[in-house]
Amino acid sequence: MITVAAPRRDQHRLRQQRLPPRGGQGLPVEVLRVHRPESHRNSPPLTAVPVTLAVMLIVTVILTVAVQIAIAVLIAIAVLITLAVMLTAPTRSGAG
């Protein structure tokens, strides 16, 4: 059997701590659940945002095309009315 020398009393004194006596020990602390606020509880799901943006983009394109078509139709109507007026107007013969 190998013998080991006992450490000196002043060696590692700062690291040594005594345990409290049994009667003076505190009660154990039990953490049942950590309560925290839930972020973004009422926000829409992540897939709703891109779908909404896509729908907005499609509606914008449709409305833009519809406005351009309406403008083209109005211009065509104005041209047809002008031609009809010019063709039905009596001609002046300027002889004289």
What does the pLDDT read at residue 20?
60
What does the pLDDT read at residue 75?
97
pLDDT category, 77, cuts 50, 70, 90? very high
How many CA atoms, within 13 angstroms, populate the side-chain half-sphere of residue 34? 2
What is the pTM assigned to this prediction? 0.41
Q: What are the residues whose beta carbons fall under 8 Å from the beta carbon of 55, sequence distance 6 or more? A: none
What span, in angstroms and rounded, lies between the C-alpha atoms of 81 and 70? Answer: 17
What does the pLDDT read at residue 54?
84
Determine which of 18-27, 29-38, 44-53 has the lowest per-residue pLDDT on average.
18-27
